[in-house]
Structure 1
Amino acid sequence: MSLPRRALVTAVAAAAALTLAACGGSSDATAELAPAKGSTAPNGITVNLTPNQNRVTTPKVDAIAALVPEEIRKRGTLTVVDSLGTTPPLDFYANDDKTIIGVEPDIASLIANVLGLKAEFNPVSWENIFVGLDSGKYDVGFSNITVTEARKEKYDFATYRLDILGFEARKGSGWKITGPKDIAGRTIAVSSGTNQEKLLVSWNEENVKNGLKPADIKYYQNSSDYYLALSSGRIDIYVGPNPSASFHAVQTGETEIIGTYSGGGANVVGKIAATTKKDNGLVKAVNEALNEVIGNGSYGQVLKRWGLDNEAVPTSELNPEGLPKPKP
């Protein structure tokens, strides 16, 4: 099935339309599924889905702006690399089908404000985020990137949210996810190369050691694919970032979150961070800018705006302990 436009009315509505299409509906109904100006977030607030975002702003702080490498200061822009715009409320397209909106671009814009720069957004596929950072094409990544010990070898991090994963199933499934034993024998969708994949693999290993069946892990890269599989019953659960899973569940009314878990697993608190190429000189400025907006309250306003108050951090950390490397 091909979608008539890149994101139809919004990325959320596209997922909802595909869910209905699997039950005999049509993608032509998409325009009726998403309000013209707003939609309901997980905490019940109404969010603005139009290109006129009226983003929260904050003043430039000269002392912090002075920490930005000279090349970037002269250019006057902060080149932000983000995902392809398909994961509301993190990063997705407004209902004009071209304006990037969400909590990630909002936070990136606040940082640019403090640094006296203009944020320039560059949506790419997940793997190309890191390719672009490696080459120096982009200054910083704001794309739900979790701090890991392996990534710290190549990148610097300034944290700004907790990493919480959500397990999403069809409504009325009657079961809950609290740990490894709860996924035994189930069919679960996940995006490859993610920390949620690592969590599922480790849970499978634990279940096998305990004499339980492993889960059957299915790999999808696009939200339209895993939500179509979920609605048709080809998978039991999708596991991904809790913000996007919760947002989708509220939007469609056909799925529910049956469990949440730290993206770092049982022993490490997973943390989402702004990501720069290691030792490129920018991360200190980004870290101080994040602490500035946390302190002045504009950060909290952004999280509340998208229903993500529960993922707030009290301070931005530089290169904290990350998810451990996989065992050889």
Structure 2
Amino acid sequence: MPSLSRRAAVLGLLPLLLLAACGTAAGTEQGSGAVTAEAAAAAGAPLKIDTSPDQKRVRAEKVDAIATRVPEAIRSGGELSVGITGDGTPPLSFLADDDSTVIGVESDVAQLVADVLGLRLRLDRTSWENLFLAVRSGKDHVGFSNITVTEERKDIYDFATYRVDQLAWETGKDSKLTRIEQPSDIAGLKVAVGSGTNQEKILLEWDERNKKAGLKPIEVQYYQRPADYYLALKSGRIDVYFGPNPTSAYHSAVSGDTKIAGTLSGGGESVQGLIAAMTQKGNGLVQPVSDALNTVIENGKYAEVLKRWGLSNEAIPASQVNPPGLPRQKK
């Protein structure tokens, strides 16, 4: 088992002892203990989850009709190389108690896809920036890392959707901020956000609208690790953190030191963002991946995985290949 300090660093303050995220369906499973944030609050007591390397992942059966359409160069190798960050952002992607095994909803969905395609799953831990380079070069066959579909990214990559994209505004539990719904609500605040992310794009757009309206600009701050911005939030160096809803809902429920002041579609105020598996452009893999996702959506395995991690309300009815993405940035 790792030290308490290591786990505290991952979540910002407390060890990984419970799971509460943003789903609408609550339930527990042997070895997982998934629960919604709403259900946890109503019950008044958190549930323990399994953070061991042996996750007993939900598995799927191979579908020959889909597996045979995987590009020969990949099929002959017998494995699906998946780029994933594993960077300490539960319930998306984080390390188990052995400090090396990647666990979370992203790796579980990747496992289902690999199963349907009849391939061994190989998770390749990498940074957010290198993930895109690895997929573009073919080093990794597909990326599973909470990647939002955008029109600009579609120029370079292909996408197969598997979740809706929701973002959250996370503040200190004693913060006077009670609700963030529009740009004016964040005027003059110190806001932390991940560099190069879709939420950064939305944040900067809101800031521009505020400045045009004569409101105070925000002060944007960037941190490399989740523990850093949660420490900044607790100490008051920042007023709010803007990030993926699953991660913020999980941290808020686990630590008890923060609260969710509002949520927003990953597409901003008018477009629903979509999370997708990302493949090399035009290499023929994206359609089999999408078909594999639709197979597990139809047979219920996909729902089992999302329920396990408390993300049932981020489910989609069907996977799409290269759907309309978030609009291009204006130049």
CA distance in 1, matches of 2:54, 2:3: 18
CA distance in 2, matches of 1:113, 1:10: 36
Contact 1:11 1:92 in 2 (8 A): no
Q: 1:9 Cα deviation (Å)?
A: 5.5
Q: 1:286 aligns with which of 278, 285, 289?
A: 289
1:298 maps to: 301
Q: 1:215 Cα deviation (Å)?
A: 1.2
CA distance in 2, matches of 1:208, 1:108: 42
TM-score, structure 1 as length reference: 0.90
Contact 1:163 1:262 in 2 (8 A): yes
2:121 maps to: 119
Q: 1:14 Cα deviation (Å)?
A: 2.0
* 3-state SS in 2 of match to 1:87: coil
2:153 maps to: 151
Contact 2:112 2:296 in 1 (8 A): yes
CA distance in 2, matches of 1:233, 1:128: 32
CA-to-partner distance for each residue in 1:155-175, whole Å, 9 max, x for gaps?
Answer: 000000001001111103232
CA distance in 2, matches of 1:243, 1:289: 24
Name the CA shift for 1:13/1:183 in 2 (closer, same or farther; >3 Å). same
Number of equivalences: 307
Kindly indicate whether residue 52 of structure 2 is the aligned counterpart of residue 50 of structure 1.
Answer: yes
CA distance in 1, matches of 2:229, 2:156: 31
Look up the equivalent residue of 1:40 and give its one-letter code: L
Contact 2:92 2:146 in 1 (8 A): yes
> Structure 2 matches for 1:8-157, cutoff 5 A?
13-16=8-11, 18-19=12-13, 33-35=15-17, 39-42=18-21, 43=36, 44=40, 46-157=48-159
Q: 1:190 aligns with which of 189, 193, 201?
A: 193
Kindly indicate whether residue 212 of structure 2 is the aligned counterpart of residue 217 of structure 1.
Answer: no
Aligned residues: percent identity?
Answer: 54
Extract unaligned runs of 5+ from structure 2: 22-35, 41-46
CA-to-partner distance for each residue in 1:7-45, whole Å, 9 max, x for gaps?
Answer: 8569763244x54xxxxxxxxxx6xx444xxx2222136
* 3-state SS in 1 of match to 2:49: strand
Name the CA shift for 1:178/1:101 in 2 (closer, same or farther; >3 Å). same
CA distance in 1, matches of 2:242, 2:266: 11
CA distance in 1, matches of 2:55, 2:102: 10
CA-to-partner distance for each residue in 1:134-191, whole Å, 9 max, x for gaps?
Answer: 1110000000000000000000000000010011111032321111111011000001
* 3-state SS in 2 of match to 1:163: strand
Kindly indicate whether residue 257 of structure 2 is the aligned counterpart of residue 254 of structure 1.
Answer: yes
CA distance in 2, matches of 1:76, 1:85: 27
CA distance in 1, matches of 2:5, 2:125: 16
Name the CA shift for 1:12/1:186 in 2 (closer, same or farther; >3 Å). farther
Q: 1:226 Cα deviation (Å)?
A: 0.7
* 3-state SS in 2 of match to 1:49: coil
Q: 1:307 aligns with which of 307, 310, 327?
A: 310
* 3-state SS in 1 of match to 2:293: helix
2:33 maps to: none
Contact 1:10 1:94 in 2 (8 A): no
CA distance in 2, matches of 1:321, 1:12: 39
CA distance in 1, matches of 2:129, 2:85: 9
CA-to-partner distance for each residue in 1:115-147, whole Å, 9 max, x for gaps?
Answer: 000110011110000111111100000000000
CA distance in 2, matches of 1:13, 1:128: 26
CA distance in 1, matches of 2:201, 2:314: 21
Look up the equivalent residue of 1:247 and give its one-letter code: Y
Contact 1:11 1:85 in 2 (8 A): no
* 3-state SS in 2 of match to 1:86: coil
Q: 1:221 Cα deviation (Å)?
A: 2.2
Contact 1:15 1:227 in 2 (8 A): no
Which structure's relative contact order is higher, taking Cα pairs within 8 Å and 6+ residues apart? 2
TM-score, structure 2 as length reference: 0.89
Q: 1:209 Cα deviation (Å)?
A: 1.4
CA-to-partner distance for each residue in 1:261-289, whole Å, 9 max, x for gaps?
Answer: 00111121100000001001100100000
Contact 1:160 1:272 in 2 (8 A): yes
Look up the equivalent residue of 1:196 and give its one-letter code: Q
Extract unaligned runs of 5+ from structure 1: 20-29
CA distance in 1, matches of 2:4, 2:118: 33
* 3-state SS in 2 of match to 1:326: coil
* 3-state SS in 2 of match to 1:40: coil
Contact 2:192 2:223 in 1 (8 A): yes
